[in-house]
Every structure is written in structure tokens, then in C-alpha cells.
Chain A
Amino acid sequence: MPLREPRAPAGGAEPSDSSSARPGSASSAPGAAAIVSVAGAVPPGALGVEAGGEHLLLLPERVAFWPRTRTLLVADAHLGKAAAFRCGGIPVPSGTTDVNLERLTQLVFACDATRIVFLGDLVHSKAARQAVGTSFAAWRQRHAGVDIVLVRGNHDARAGDIDAAWNVRVVSDPLIEDGLALCHAPRPVAGAFALAGHLHPSAMLTGRGRDRLRVPCFWFAATQAVLPAFGAFTGTADIAAATGDRVFVVAGSRVVALEASSEVER
């Protein structure tokens, strides 16, 4: 099965540079991301996996939680995207950023997280950064005890430096911690398992009775993985999974492991 790049994400995220867009060379390495039971409190609907020697929980809220370090991993929040549209003369109603921040609040409490690492594209653009400045700063104050790190993504780079009041530590891609490399665009990182975002991955599912369904997904290959986009007003791009990849789809309120099948449903 030849591999293909996913389509450009429809939601305004950049399509990747071609060579970096696919996680790992899947064919050689054995089974990516074994499903494990993770010690401690597991939020409802979550699925535990093992990657780079670490246990991760994949949550239906389209984020991953790293229990050992009590870290939420959040890719592609694209805060302020709707506001950026409005400033650009395209009418998109307000409210999506509030929803995004409220979801983050609930995740922090549900997981008892002490840290959030954004895997790039925290803000959508310069106009977006300016538009959400006040509300993010206010939200940040309510969660002053949480350490927040941003691995700079392509949108962040163009959006310009974020406000000091946000109290966010910005680092360059990749941030290597233990066996994990936290990145924005997917790429292999020697000696670590790379976790990235950027692609806004979704999977097209087919089933008996000619059922078809497109759902956001976590896409795991042998040495790297891509998280779904967290933001409320972001598009998705279908993945082109290779044999041996593991795909964990967000099925409503649960994360479910699926096999990539070569049998095309007619």
C-alpha cells in the first residue's frame, strides 16, 4: 500500500512539508503503541497506551495526558481563530475561544494536571493573539498554579511573541523529556518517541452496511505519533495510515483503538 500525504487540513492549518508529515517508517518497526492499563485515576472514555517507555492516556477531549508528569499534551488549539476571521472580514460568531478555555479548565481538574504542554499552534494568527489576549490572561490567572509550556508551531511563529501576562514558557521544537520528544510538526527525533500535532488528523472509517464516518484520531507509528487538533473551530485532514500503524479514534465520548484495514468497504 503506497503511503500518501494527508490532504491539507481544511481548517486553515498549514499542510506539512511533505517529508515530515508521516510518523515514522512504520514498516520496519514492530507494533507501535501497545495498549496498556495506566495506573491511577483514569478519566472516563480514556485509553492508555505505551510510547517511548512512557504511559499515556488518550482522552476523547482530543488531548493526551501523561500521568507520571501530570502533564496535559494539547495540540493545535488555534485560539482566536474565529476572531481572526472576523478581523479579516469573514463573519464567524464569537464563543469558540471561551469554549476552548472552558474545556481546558475541565481537563485540568479531571486529570489533576500540574502542567500543560501545547504542541504548537496555540494561537491562530497575530490578529487572533491580540483578540484573545485579555481572556487568555484572565484564564491563566485562574490557573496560576499550572505550569504552561508552548512548543512553538508555525502559526505561533507568525503570530509574534505572546504577551508576558500569559505566563507561558515558549520553547523551540523539539522539547525532549525522558523518552518523549514533544514537537509541533511530526518528524523523527533520534533516541526519542516524537509526539506532534500540526496535521489535525482524522480517520475515514468504513463498516458493514456501507457505513462511513469521519472522526478525529490519534495516529501512532513506530517512533512517533500525531495528536488530533484540540481547537473547536479547526478542520481535519484524513490520514493515510500504513500497515502497522495504530489509529485511536475519538468515537463520541470514548477513544477506541482501530486497525487500518486494507479491505475497502464497497
Chain B
Amino acid sequence: MSDAQPDRREQARVVAAARRNLKRQLARGAIVRAMGTGTAGATADASGTHTGANASGVDRASDTGGAAARLPPPPPTTIDIVAAQNHGNGLERVERWFAASGRTPFAFQRAAWRHHAEGRSGLIHAATGTGKTLAAWLGPVIEAIDERTGSGSESTQWTSTKRARRLRVLWITPMRALAADTLASLAAPLAELGLGWRIGLRTGDTPGADRIRQDRDALDAMVTTPESLALLLSRPGQRDLFGELVAVVVDEWHELLGTKRGVQVELALARLKRLAPRLRIWGVSATLGNLDEAERVLLAGRPGVVVAGEEPKTLVIDSLLPHDVMKSPWAGHLGTRAAAQVAAEIEHSGTTLVFTNTRSQAELWYQALLAARPDWAGILGLHHASLSIESRRFVENGLRTGAMKAVVCTSSLDLGVDFAPVDRVIQIGSPKGVARLLQRAGRSGHRPGLPSRISCVPTHALESIEAAAARAAVDDGAIESRRPLVKPIDVLVQHAITIACGEGFAREVLLAEVRDTHAFATLTDAEWDWVIAFAGGGGVLDAYPEYRRIVHGDDGIHRVVEAKLARRHRVQIGTIVSDASVEIRYLRGDRLGSVEENFIARLKPGDAFVIGGKAVSFVRMQEMTALVRRATPRTAVTPRWLGGKMSLSNELARHIQYELQSAAHGHAEARETKALSPLLSLQARHSRVPNADELLAELHATREGRHLCVFPFGGRHVNAALAALVAWRLARTTALTFSMAFNDYGFELLSPVDFALDAAALRAALDPAHAADDIAASVNAAELSRRHFREIARVAGLVFQGYPGEGRSARQLQATSGLFFDVYAEHDPGNPLLEQSRREVLERELELTRTLATLEALRMRTLIVNTPERMTPLALPLVAEQMRNKLSTEQVADRVARMQVAMQKPERRLRAAA
């Protein structure tokens, strides 16, 4: 990489590729001109181009079947803008820049720039692809131009000197995969505006050498992720780094709000506010039900404005329905049976995005579409967050150049970056929420006068009704809210260690800073002292002799002084979002992506799996990398990435019941609901299609045992809570073991032995009286908080990924989250992390408030207990559900008496389902 010759050649290629891109883009008349053309007029910093990475990239292009596209070199991580001559103040230049492409800024963009200039912070919300990025970005850009020109209008060309340069704008994006695109969009207007900034990427994908360069020669603007920002906070010299910030932009704030990463951002903002006196905070968000709250959480009580974007385009939601509903599967999540039908749709459309809800579903659909159309090899892409940056870039680039016919993707492509609108958007399975549906639909149809359109493909028959419900919910304007998190102690423990790794902190000062967030505004002194002690700062913890991670210095500052501990913490910061992941590489070195450690741990050499649409077989582990070689697809299994299932929102759940009721009464209007009528008559014949004022329960027996299916239509989370509650109350009097399944419509309790149940008993089990206590008890009985503790242990830094260099001594300090949970429960039962786990299960997995409201509402409904002869269409998806909770009040020995030792067949279930 130090070889200068190839570097210069690479530079030339970057520039040429960027120019080609720009031309193509302009030729297509794309609305957002900024898109993907970032390097126009810019020289790529040599550090951003890697001959090594590039070599593998080119190989990948051929690998993906690609006569279609040659892969351009990786995008630079640092861009030095070579400013063109320009004159006038910032706003004038921006207006001229818009005019040069025949556009004028939208009113909301001008408003955002003015608010920024006048020192205000705020939240910008607008539909995808309507210019949110420029609304947030050009405010600080205009300001910088005005400062440099003394807001005069003489012609100036600025190239900032190293000495003068300090970081001015920090751009936080939730998706590492999209950061490179964001950087390009931000770079795009700068050259023509005459602003010679150096802007760069700082994410987990940024190579070490580039980071070092960025540290040496400061950037004017940086695009980063919450995790990489936390890493920056773990370093000394914070005021030098952040003191001159004028703006922080939090992109896709709706994705972060209500998550622990969002709280991580809140904490970082509190710090930046204190370090940078001139700082303004801007959030960028898609439509949300609670925008005002979203703004308040972001600004933590600072006054601010909400800037509303252009009205969203009109939206068309339709469905690709199976030709014969009775022949389509009645259960399942994959729906690949419809692949041929979807392929036909893609055939007749231009560029198409095929959205799936999970990464494994994306992998399976990619294979299914390729099987239907082998000739699409190379022009059918796959994009999800666990693929290597090279393959993601290959696909993104193909979307931009139009080389891709279709891309199968997850939410990795429904966020943010303004890439070219596509012609068609297809949603596999339920979108699970109105806001998500709107966002995904927004990827299509940017041509004036044309609506956005999204076509839903049900993965099982009953699901087709969800498109109809979504349409009704959109008409009602029923868009979901995202509730902010309050006091996630695990995040605070992590933050305290992070700060202690860098500058260190004084108790009072950091407490005041932490309270300057929405999440920890009500943090008590006692809670803070516990956090410091648990983070390793000594004090209140009697049960933890000789535990010390943070040293309380004579100067009153808490610091992590042991380099090994600081290093371990920094490595672990990135795992706040996900489980420890293992990188997948071919033996000869090319990166394929990553999968969770759990998946790899179950493989033996020779086992085949699919990643990025390629079948590979596992060879061996080498530190945190799994080496693989090509394999025949025949025996390959598809990894499951955790990440969980989304719950149907309240809004959608309600509308589904209306649809069912209208169908039951024979006046369904939606095409999807009408198409379901044979299935619903079958349901009516064997049991009943419940009205909105009825609660249906079905009891039936199979060789597996006794099944109780109940259909409250509460949404997945509420139904999970009701399942736990009913199971707990039934098993309290008689020793029973239940396997519990739930979906958005209802829940199932399965018992291996028969259990007595009549309408009165079920009514009693659903009694709202003492329900909150009983649900809390059921959480313990079903070990839900123990399972949830996995996330908390990770965030609080209890479990960590091994990393090269520490070897054995690090492995000796590894234990599972379950072990941590057990040891706390037994020896430190007052540990606030246990309480947090219980609270998070109740609030987030079981939605206690919504559950209690549902119980009250159920009291008004007529309870119907049927005993159908066979499994009904409503019950089947529940019975087929694989993700289950357990609740048992039996003696272990009694349970064991019915059991055998399982022979392990990893991922067998998934294959069967596929």
C-alpha cells in the first residue's frame, strides 16, 4: 500500500469512475443529483484505495457472474474536495447550484438552513428520497462558506490548511453498510459550491491505516456510526477533537429511537454539547407517529424546531396473490413457492427491489429467484448487513448504474441513502408496520406524477390479508410511534467505561452530563454510584472483592489505567448491536461476510452453508475468522442471523381484525381479503371466523399433545404475554409443562399431557385482576429474563469476543450470559441489571401496558371455545411456529421421564421449513 505507483493509478480510476457515474446519473435525469457522484471534482485520498481489497473485489465481480459490471475500486474513506471557483455567500451559491440542474430548493430545505444559521437545532422529517440529506447538510455548509468569505461576496477558493482544520460536522448514520454512500452524497455538492473540505468515513469498515491518517490530518466533516463514535469518545483529547463542532446530524433517527444504540447516541450528544459551545443538533427522520417526542428525546430538552418535508408521494399497495389460495401454504415465513410468480413480475419491470424481513429469508429468496431464472446470474443482487463490504458495494453500484435487474435485500436498503429510485418494490411477507411499508415503498416511483408502489407477496395464505390491513391503516394515517428507552443501565455502564478509557471522568461532572439526556434525566445519585462501582470504580459493591477496572485517581478522576482492559473494552463496543460475529473468508482470502458465532460453533469441518448466495463448506476457524471453500449447493444450509421477529403494530393488528370481520360477513372489499374466502369458509366450517367482538379459542389433540389456540389479535408481543399469563395460571394449580408459540393473530399452548380446560377456566385465566403480577411471575417461570439477559450482558461488557493477541488468558474470562444471570440471581440478587432485564422483557417483549389494556378489552368480548376435529387455517401457522417459549411447573425428573437425548442435526429445522 506504500507503493506509490498503483496508488496514483487507483486515483485516476476513482476519478474516471466517478465521472462516468455522474454522466450516467445526469442522463437518467435522477432527481437527487447528489447521489453516488461524490467523487466528482474530488481527488480520492490515496489512503482510501487498496490494491489488495480491490483485487478481491474484481474477483468477486466475476464470481457473481458478472460480465454485467466491472467493480470499481472501493470508495475512498477520505475525500479531499478540490473546490471550484465560486463567488457569493453560501446561500447564493447553493441556490445557483440547484438552478444549474434546473431545480429550486424545497421550502423545508430553506427553512432548515435558516434555522441552522440562526442557531437552532431540530428534527427534519420527510419521505425517503425527497431531499432530507441536503436539508440537514447544507446548513453547516452554507455557514462554513460564509465564515470563510467573511460572508462577503468576493470570489474565493478555499483549501483549508492542516493547521486551521478542525472537525466541524459529525454525521451519524445507523447503518455502517450505507456510510460510504452517505459520504458520496455529502461530497457531491461541495466542489461546485467552492468548499475545499476534507471529509471522511469513520466506521467499522474503515481500515486502520486510514484511521491513523484521519487522526493526523483532521477532517472537516466525518460520517460515522454510533459505535465508531463511542470509540472516539474512548480516546483522550476530546476537546481538540470535538471542540469546534458546529453541527451533529443524526441520520435515520427513527431507526435509532427506542433502541440502545439510540441511547448511546443520546449520551454522545450530551458530551458533544458540553465540549462544543456552538453545536447545533439536527435529526433526520422518516415519518413517525410521535415526531414531537422524537425531537424532544434527541435534543434532551433543548428548544428546537420540527421541519416537515414535502408531502409524501401517493402510495399504491397491492399484492401478488397466489393463483389458488387453497394450494398455497397455510403457514411459514419464507414463501419461496411464489418465486416463479415474482420472477415474472420482475421480468416485466425495470430495476426491482425485493425486500425481505430477515437475512436468511433474503438468502433463500436470492437462491429461489436464481433457480427460477438462472440467466439472471450477475444481474440479480443480494444485499444484507452481514455481507462483506465488497459484495454490498458491488450491488449498490449495480443499482446505481442500472446493471442490476433486481436486488433481494433486507432493511439494509430501506434506509436513508438517496440512491436512484427503482421501478418496482416487492415486499416478501408482511411489512409488519405502516411506517416500514411507507419507507420501503418510497424507494420506487420518483418520476413526477407517478405514485410509489409496493407489491406484497404473502409467505402464507393468511398473510395476504395483511396487505389489505396495511392499506386501510395507511388511509387512516395510522403510523406507528417509537417509544424512547428510559434508563437502560447496561448502556450507562458501557458509557462510563468508555469515558474512563479516554479522558476519565469526575463523578459529579459526568453525572450532570449523563442527566442531560432524555434516557437518564431522572438518574438518581444512588443509581449513578452503583454504575460507577459496577463499571469497576470501587465503592458500594460488597459482593465484589478485589474487583477493580477503573482507578479513582488522587485528582478525583476515574480512569481505566490498565491498557489491556481498555483495549478489551474498545473491541467490545461494536458488539452492542449484535452477537459476536465471525467473519467468513475463502481460504485464499476473499471476504464473504459474517455470521453469528453460535452458528459457526455448531458446524463441523465439511458442513456446507450459504452466504451471499454462495454455497461454501466450513474448513476451520482461525482466530475470529471462519475459513471456507466452495461447496455444492445441494447440501448447504442457510444460517439464521438473530435479530428477532418484528411484531405487528397495534395499528395493523386492529385493521386485520376488521378485514376478517368484513370477510366473515361477506362484504370484504379488498382484493386480498376476497381471495381468501375459500380459506375463511374452511375456517368457518371447522370452527369460526371471529368477529371483532368475539374471542375465539380452539382445542385439539395431535400426537404431539394437546393444543390450545387462542386468537386475541393483539400483535405478536401482546399474544406472547397472554400465552405466558394463561400458561402460568393453568400450570399454577396443576404441575404442567407448556410449549408456547405466538404470532400476530394469536397464541398456542401445547402440552404433552392432556389438561382440563373449559370456557370458565379460560375466562379465569384471562382475568385482568392481578394480571400484572402474574405476568411478572410467568416471566420468571418461563426464564424469559434469563434469555433476554444475553443482550444486557453484552452491552454491559460482561461477555466479550476473544480477539487476537490475548489468547488463553482471555478465554479463561469468558462465560455465557446465562451463567452470569444465574450467578447474579444467586449471589447478588439486587443487581440492577437483573431488574433491567425483567423490565425490558415486560416492556419490550411483552408490552405489558398494551397487554393489560388488551385483557380489559377481551373481557368485553364473547368467548367461544371450539373443539375442531382438525387443525384450522387460523391455528396452523401457530402450530407450525418454531420459535417457542417454555413454561413448566413440573418436577424436572417428571419431565425428563418423557424425554430422550436429542441427536444433533444442526439447522435441520430450517431446511425442512425451506
- Residues of A at under 8 Å CB distance from B? 1, 4-5, 7-8, 10-12, 14, 82-96, 99, 124-125, 131, 155, 158, 203-213, 215, 217, 232-235, 238-241, 247, 249, 251-254, 256, 258-266
Contact = CB atoms under 8 A, between A and B. Distances in A.
Given A10-B816, A252-B891, 14 more contacts: A14-B811, A89-B547, A91-B798, A93-B544, A96-B827, A207-B899, A208-B705, A233-B815, A234-B819, A241-B901, A260-B901, A263-B900, A265-B900, A265-B902
B752 A96 contact: no
Interface string B96-127: 00000000000000000000000000000000
Contacts of B737: 209, 211
Contacts of A207: 752, 895, 898-900
Interface string B676-720: 000000000000000000000000000011000000000000000
A209 B739 contact: yes
B536 interface: yes
Contacts of A247: 901
Contacts of A206: 899-900, 902
A85 B808 CA distance: 13
B893 A86 contact: no
B901 A125 contact: no
Contacts of A82: 823
B99 to A, nearest CB: 59
Contacts of B820: 92
B905 interface: yes
Contacts of A256: 893, 896-897
A86 B545 CA distance: 8
Question: In the complex, which of the residues B753, B824, B895, B908 has the most CB atoms of chain A within 10 Å of its own CB atom?
Answer: B895
Nearest to B808: A158
B53 interface: no
A129 B109 CA distance: 66
Contacts of A158: 808
Contacts of B562: 89
A123 B811 CA distance: 15
Interface in B809-847: 809, 811-816, 819-820, 823-824, 826-828, 831
Contact of B813 (A7, A84, A209, A259): A84
A30 B568 CA distance: 50
Interface of B: 534, 536, 541, 543-549, 562, 565, 568, 601-602, 604, 704-705, 737-739, 750-753, 797-798, 808-809, 811-816, 819-820, 823-824, 826-828, 831, 884, 886, 888, 891-893, 895-905, 908-909, 912
Contacts, number: 183
A56 B526 CA distance: 53
A92 B536 CA distance: 11
Contacts of A212: 886, 902
Given A10-B819, A84-B812, A208 B898 contact: yes
Contacts of B900: 205-207, 258-261, 263, 265
B893 A208 contact: no
B779 to A, nearest CB: 19
A153 B541 CA distance: 33
Contacts of A203: 901-902
Given A12-B814, A84-B812, A91 B892 contact: no
B902 A209 contact: no
Contacts of B752: 207-209, 211
Contacts of B896: 205, 213, 215, 249, 251, 256, 258
8 pairs of A and B residues whose beta carbons are closest in the complex: A209-B752, A207-B899, A261-B900, A252-B892, A86-B547, A95-B827, A209-B705, A208-B752
B871 to A, nearest CB: 15
Nearest to B736: A209
A93 B543 contact: yes
A261 B902 contact: yes
15 contacts: A10-B816, A89-B547, A89-B548, A90-B798, A93-B824, A95-B826, A207-B900, A209-B705, A210-B739, A211-B739, A234-B819, A235-B819, A239-B901, A240-B904, A258-B896
B544 A131 contact: no
Contacts of A5: 604
Contact of A259 (B543, B704, B901, B908): B901
A97 to B, nearest CB: 11
A156 to B, nearest CB: 13
Contacts of A239: 901
A85 B739 CA distance: 36
Contacts of A251: 892-893, 895-896
B112 to A, nearest CB: 45
A90 B550 CA distance: 11
A219 to B, nearest CB: 10
B551 to A, nearest CB: 11
Contacts of A215: 892, 896
Contacts of B819: 10-11, 233-235
A182 to B, nearest CB: 24
Contacts of B902: 203-206, 212, 261, 264-265
Contacts of A88: 809, 812-813
Contacts of A209: 704-705, 737-739, 750-753
Given A89-B549, A210-B704, A212-B886, A205 B893 contact: no
B899 A205 contact: yes
B569 to A, nearest CB: 9
Given A12-B815, A210-B884, A260 B903 contact: yes
Contact of A91 (B547, B808, B897, B912): B547
